[in-house]
Amino acid sequence: MKDKIVCEWYLECIDSAANKNKFYEILIWFRDNSFYISRRFGRIGTNTKAKEIHTFKTIEAAKAKAQELVSAKRFSKKDQYTLVKQIDNSNVMDALQITTEPKADVKQVVKQKKITDTDFWGGLSLA
């Protein structure tokens, strides 16, 4: 399965007097039955690469950590960022019935039936 973005937060810090024009982005990805938090930041207009910083097994734990990171930027004493965009697609996870629990091993028993001539010719007449 491809990577799927579950949640996204985009923040900006703009102060013309101090020549500050920065952004900070937090993403929660779902991949390989785990949730990954990635972070991207830099000057607005630059193309920076996202870096994975945390891995969680549940969406609740990933959201809690992401909210902690966002709050740290929004209520910082040094540079206060404003929340510009917040997207929560966690309801899509429920709609797709994606579970992070490993599936139980299911054993199937196949019973063989002895094929007779009448079964063979009867099957051909149906085709």
In the chain, domain spans: 4-95
Q: CA–CA separation, 51 vs 90, rounded Å?
A: 21
Contacts of 34 (CB under 8 A, 6+ apart): 55, 56, 57, 100
Walking along the chain (127 residues) 10 residues at a time, the average pLDDT comes out as 85 93 95 93 93 93 95 92 91 56 58 61 55
pLDDT of 105 reads: 60
For residue 104, the model assigns a pLDDT of: 58
Looking at domain 4-95, which of 1.10.3210, 1.10.3470, 2.60.40, 2.20.140 is its CATH number? 2.20.140
Q: What's the pLDDT at 34?
A: 92
